[in-house]
Structure 1
Amino acid sequence: MNTKLILSAAAVALLSACASSGPMTPMMPFSQMALPDAVKVPDGHKVAMETVGAGEITYECRVKAGTGTVDQMEWFFVGPAAGLKDRSGKMVGSYYGPPATWQSADGSKLTGMQVAVAPASAGNIPHQLVKANPAMGAGAMTGVSYIQRTATRGGVAPSQVCAASNAGQRITVQYQADYIFWTPA
């Protein structure tokens, strides 16, 4: 077979493969510009890791805090259980609680204290800013100073009635959110 023909066929195959995989777009660095000021990480920090958390949040029907009466019931946030994937879709950790804990696949993990929340669109849990506690174990979570929850989808309390008749009932709802991990610059 002719060498030029073989090279031409190889070039066509390569170009076809590239075209079928869609346009190549470089991953842009995370920007806080569109976030409410309350959940922006202070200056002097840089993004260390970006993840997408997908899983569920559990709520329980309980007496409303501070009322002590079954006449006032509410869905109480019990805790999350989610897998964390990097932007390429690789599983890199998990998020669970209580207490709210982010754990890397390398075993390092951290907890934190909520600093602020800001409303997201209707039907979605709010954006959140968390000040990280020092990491336990060495690895990806070492040195993380803040965690942001952004791009939330779902996760709000159930729409079912919460009353004395179903006190103690637990319901899980699906959610997804981006978790952005920041370290000092």
Structure 2
Amino acid sequence: MTIRTLTVLAAAAGLAACSGMGAKPPMYSQAGLPDAVKVPAGHTVVMETVGAGDITYECRAKANMPGQHEWVFVGPDARLMDRAGKQVGKYYGPPATWESMDGSKLTATQVAVAPAGTGNIPYQLVKANPAMGSGAMQGVSYIQRVSTQGGVAPAAACGASNMGQKQVVKYQADYIFYRAV
């Protein structure tokens, strides 16, 4: 073989080895989720994010249960990152709001929840309200909260002596955004 032939073969082998680099990762699959939190047919994934941050709870009197208290969910405060770890938005509330770095944002209405294991906030499916502003959130129809870690109400006592006290807990979850096709 000539040097030229070897050079061409080496270049071809290098290109073949790199052909998988930069390939788009496979789309999120709902296959392992409980039916209650699956997005209805006719919708496709348009964005996958990882939310990491805090959930605030407040010690309050239980409704219609005199003398009893409980930790009540107040709201989230999290950064939304893409799969590469770059911040693409934020999630905060109340009301629960997903906001893209491009300024578009939306709120949503809970459709269903399903258990996600001890110590983890539940899986959740929400139906998006129309987005405010143009950008990534425009046209989003559903958002799933999956792969949850932490975020449950504090284990600390909640009673008359600490009513009104707030506790912040760490959490992480994937937020999968869908649009109608």
Quick check: TM above 0.5? yes
Alignment partner for residue 33 of structure 1, among 21, 31, 34? 31
The residue type paired with residue 134 of structure 1 is P
DSSP 3-state at the match of 1:161: coil
Which residue does 1:86 correspond to in 2?
Answer: 82
Q: Does 1:109 align with 2:105?
A: yes
Which residue does 2:57 correspond to in 1?
Answer: 59
RMSD: 2.0
Count of matched residue positions in the alignment of Structure 1 and Structure 2: 167
Which residue does 1:4 correspond to in 2?
Answer: none
DSSP 3-state at the match of 1:38: helix
**Residue deviations 1:152-179 (CA, integer Å, cap 9, x gap):** 0000000000010111110000000000
Offset, 1:25 = 8.3
Higher deviation after alignment, 58-67 or 104-113: 58-67
* Residues 182, 24 of structure 1: alpha-carbon distance in 2 compared, 3 angstrom cutoff: closer
Consecutive unaligned residues of structure 1, counting only runs of 5 or more, are 1-6
DSSP 3-state at the match of 1:106: coil
Which residue does 2:4 correspond to in 1?
Answer: none
Could you state the TM-score of these two structures normalised by the residue count of structure 2? 0.87
Alignment partner for residue 132 of structure 1, among 120, 128, 143? 128
Q: Does 1:118 align with 2:114?
A: yes
* In 1: Cα distance, 2:146 partner to 2:100 partner: 19
* In 1: Cα distance, 2:25 partner to 2:59 partner: 42
**Map 1:1-185 → 2, pairs under 5 A:** 27-67=25-65, 69=66, 71-185=67-181
DSSP 3-state at the match of 2:41: coil
**Residue deviations 1:61-116 (CA, integer Å, cap 9, x gap):** 0001222x2x2000000000000000111100000000000000000000000000
* In 1: Cα distance, 2:76 partner to 2:49 partner: 16
* In 1: Cα distance, 2:127 partner to 2:23 partner: 32
Could you state the TM-score of these two structures normalised by the residue count of structure 1? 0.85
Identity over aligned pairs, percent: 67
The residue type paired with residue 32 of structure 1 is Q
DSSP 3-state at the match of 1:138: coil
Consecutive unaligned residues of structure 2, counting only runs of 5 or more, are 1-6
**Residue deviations 1:23-70 (CA, integer Å, cap 9, x gap):** 998622100000000000000000010000000000000001222x2x
